[in-house]
Structure 1
Amino acid sequence: MSESVAQDRLQLLQTYRLLQWIRNDNQAEVERILDLGVKGLINLTAPQDGMGALHLAVSLNRSELVDFLLSRRALPDIQDNLGRTPVMLAVEVGNLPMVTRLVQNQADMKLLDGEGKGVLFYCSLPTQSHTSCLQVALENGADVNNVSADGVHVFQQMCEKAPECTPQCLIMVEAGADPSAVNKNTGMTALMAAVKAGSLELVRAILRRGGNPNVMDQNRLTAVHYAAMVGCTETIQVLSAYSADMGEIDFTGATPLHYAAATGNTSCCKFLAQRGCNPKLKNLEGLLPRQIAKDSGHKAAAMELRKAEKQQGKSSSESSDASPTSALWALTLHDWSHECQADLQRAFGDASHAVDVCTFTSVLQELKAPVDLDQLGKVVSAHDTNTQGCIDLDDFLKGAKYIQKAFLLSSYMPKKEKAAKGAEGGKKKKEKSKSFLPPICIMPIEKMPRRPDGGPPYFMIEKYFKGPDGWCPDKPDKVYVNINDCVKNGDLKSLELAFSQGVPVDVQDEYYDSPLMTACCSGRLQMVQYLLSCGADVNLTDQLFWTPLHHAAHAGHTAIAELLIQAGASVNARTLCGGTPLMGAIQSCRPSCVELLINAGANVNAKANSGQNCVDFAVQFSGPEVINLVKLKMASLPEAKAAAKGKGGKNQTPKSAKKKVAK
């Protein structure tokens, strides 16, 4: 690297002066000191933190200054004491325009910081801007399989943050991320992290790319163990389709069935037992899964496990090739055909119903079905009983001709769907209305259920199921949903529907958090813009008197804070503990957010109920950059200048001191 740390006194003073002019956004003074200063001043860094001119301009979002510095040959790959480059700082806050500027000036996306982390490690935040930065970084050579010095794979780390970061993880998969990525410290794979986070879409993507579901972490836990912990039957079904071993035992002697029993998920227990997990195995504490379910108060799961214990060892006869079976290979094939149904139909093309045996066999082999030729012959025999050389694809996908009925995936369908399907051939007692009803309906605000504590209500979504006469509204599946969850998930359609049905835009949950507060603390800029356009109150407070600006500042979301201030948010609002948004921004260590609030009129002399002022918070939580910002603002106040004159008779303010250094 050609950059260097300021060494002698002159270099040091001019470096700090240059950084100060950048903080003040004074391009004229920046240009003057670069013209008259020491050689290479533009690429000198402060010894304390390694901060250079370009670092500071990027972190403060000084677009014009960044362009000017780059035009004056500022090195785009200069690194601070932590090894961070300007593009890493821009990506960390999701500043896409700044990232684009640096890329256009040949910023190296393959550089690593002091911990061995590349730029992609700074992209793993659940915002659209961070997703866009990720795409730009990948397009310009960022290492999609970067592993940090302590053994953390960037893709595996992103998967741990799913489902918030699911879109970013899917982009990483498409860009060639290793599906077997693992955290070397814990042994947890990307697949395990996706399963644990409950992101089914990401689980499917990793498995399709070759992720191994049978890898164990340092505790001998597999992806199936983690799926059983969260009680997700659908995830376990997908893992089964890719030949996951359901009966692995961890260091505590527990199988996935022990964990499923603890959650009380009956269908999960049933599926695991059917797919090869022994319900009669005891863990190291001597407990059967059934005993765990019983002790946890899950009676239905305990009854299902009792049935599984009785069925253990009673496998179906394999003497006849044409008879339905419950053999493990057949169940795996059935699960695979269900998971790869779209691929099968695409491969068979127009032959969507009857296909000849040769085509059927070759397609399954080409798609790498989890079955050998002998087993495939048994499947063919079960379907082609008349030896006509044809197989009905629909019958194969249903699985009823070669799988026992109780083991079919259709047996796990909700009873309502079964009843709706069964009613298609029956007689209609009463003609129902043919009018269309939407699949989602919001209960009016005046009919919403109140909480026992008298707090604000949840809004209720009624989900209609599709019957023989269209959408059936007579027996809706009622689900109570926190409206703030819709904000966190970016579910704009549900919000629009809720507001159109009378739900107030400032409805508050049990903690009196409004949708705008939730959007501010979760960093959803587009959601904030939408809620403000709907008339959301920017100065509404929660139970601790936090306003939306408090939430945005404490989370360090500068763009959102700026939007709130423009909408009339009070920059000096106080919480129950006397905290201001500026104190929250100081705690988040975001210089750009701190400077924004100071420029907007935030009181730097404000004190919390504890007696601490902004300087105290800066010293406790932030670095020298934030401390200097607060101190400079305090020194520029009239009372501070008056005090300085009274003490020394001379006005030795920071500005006058700077003039002396310049001379």
Structure 2
Amino acid sequence: MPRARRTSRVRRRRRQLSEADLRLRMAVANGDISELRAWTSDGDVNELDCSGWSLLHLAASRGRERCVRVLLEHGALAAVQDSIGGFTSLHYAAMHGRTRIARLILDCQHSDAVINACSNDGWTPMHVAAHYGRDDFIRVLVDYRAKVDALSDKGTTPLQLALIRNRFSCVNLLLDAGADINIQSGFPLRYSVIKGYLPLGRTLLQRGAEPNLGRPEDGETPLHLAALKNDLNFAKLLYEFGGDVYKRNYDGQTPMATAKMVEDRSRPLLDFLQEESRCCRSLQNLCRLTIRRAIGHTRLDRIHQLPLSTVMLDFLRHKFEDWWCALSMEVQIKFFLQIKEVQSGVRWRRPDEVKALGSVLKEKSDPAMPKLRPRKSGKHATCSQDALKLQEAVRGGKIAPVRSLLQKGLSVNQRCVYGFSLLHGAVVNSQLRCVRLLLEHGACAYVKDYTGGYTPLHFAAKYVLTRIAQVILQYDDSERVVNARGRDGLTPLHIVAACGKEECALQFMRLLLESGATIDPVTDFGFTPLLMAIKFRRYSCIKTLVEWGANVDLEMGLPIRYAVANNDHKLLRILLQNGAQCNYGGPKTGQTPLHLAAMQNNVVLATRLWEYGADCNAKNQSEETPLEVARSVADWDTQCVQFLRDVTYKARSLQDLCRLTVRSQVGHKRLHRLDELDITRVMLNYLKHKH
């Protein structure tokens, strides 16, 4: 479809300004309204300087609202374009977010030549506002009916500029104003997949983005791109919103075939694609996708007008997961078990959780929500009157009624709704005596709930209930209990590394490790307990895990690169003292930690890395050394550049080489045992970098 013809440029006479004109422009820049009024009686308000700027350009860019009003009253033209980039005064108002000036201009001269004026590159004021993230200015332009899908000379729209510049609030405004969410064969959704912006991807899909549009040049759909990036969470999200696992690109490959081609492919992602390729979608998902497509993405915002129940409307909107993506990553990890309890309506819930989760519980307690039938499992799954009494007694910690009901023959391993056993309930409500009593009567410590596959020890880890965990492990300290994995791969060690007070978590962590917990289990989303502790900066937990043999060089040195990238000196010191390698390059760019320190121009980080053996001659995939990287981002006379230049062209001292060699021979798993060496205290301190 051909583009609309660009509005004609308003050309004005330009000349060399006199001294009086220069004083006038200085007065406009300073907002001197009296001198401007005195001049406008006989002067030309549309006169341009050598750069093509009129007085209206100057007043709009400087934010002189009263000067703009006077100039417009005396006939200043808002469609005049400068000779720098072809920008009008409205472009400059959009650049600086001058909303009141924009309203003045548009109230006075509202025409397509003004509100949709194109610069030399085809940028309209809407492009400029989206590029600079001016939310209020976009609202003003929308109110005055500006085009939201105008194309620049390079074929970009304001929505694409907002996405590329990470202006997500502007993205929502433009979508609310009717911007095409599938512009350029689904560019917005593909861009969110490439960048790994999961919340943005969910927002686009909920607003009706088509998940099966292929890239024009190679036919890669968003699901193909998620497979290339080993992004399991994005792949699940795309499949949930209708992503086709059988869709082929121009090479005839499905997403599963693409995932198999990736060298460092994620096994959970490949398993997921294989499973979904073998089985069909559920009937309810097919109904939801069919209804949403029939409505169309331009009318999904009016779905609440349908004569349906609240439950059905929420189901069609995918609303059951909205609040989960709104939470920060820290809250997701800390309360992931609580959130799943709320989703499933589990009976066992601590009173303080109800207050902590506030709005979430209020939303989930919608009276329109249907009653869920308990899943039957075992003899007493029908929840008889005695079974309900037993559950209430366990939750309240009433020992005598619990003992008497168990003596009547009730099963100690009975389950309530969604697979919660009596032992789950006793743990969640911190009833130590009930836990001991249930275990004495044969309660199974390995029982898992139906929602996430979590055992009572998982919940003890979440609430950091060390004494309860000791009792559970006294009765069953087998490997399957200590290393029990939920459906997402989380073990109790993962949870305690991220939850609770750090002092209490340390005791629980030592208890698990002494009981034989695996030190480096990997979850489905690629986290180990060490990475969980690093993410939440729990330094005592990090030290404990490292002392017990946690791998500090996970994923080719990810922990130390994370510490350098986030300028975390304390974490970097812990990792280096415990033998982390300094010369691993990133899997995509080959950047070593020293490269990252050079990019930040941080001489402190660079010095510490060099002391622990960082190679100053290591090259990234662009064949650049840390010194060359530092020179590209900073001046030659900065401390970081000078330090890297000195150490690059100078050999290490013999004592440094000896220290690095000894530490390398000892190995990072045994560095905490250096005190056992039969050498002097001075030598020990030297090997530990204490001097």
TM-score by length of 1: 0.45
Larger strand percent: 1
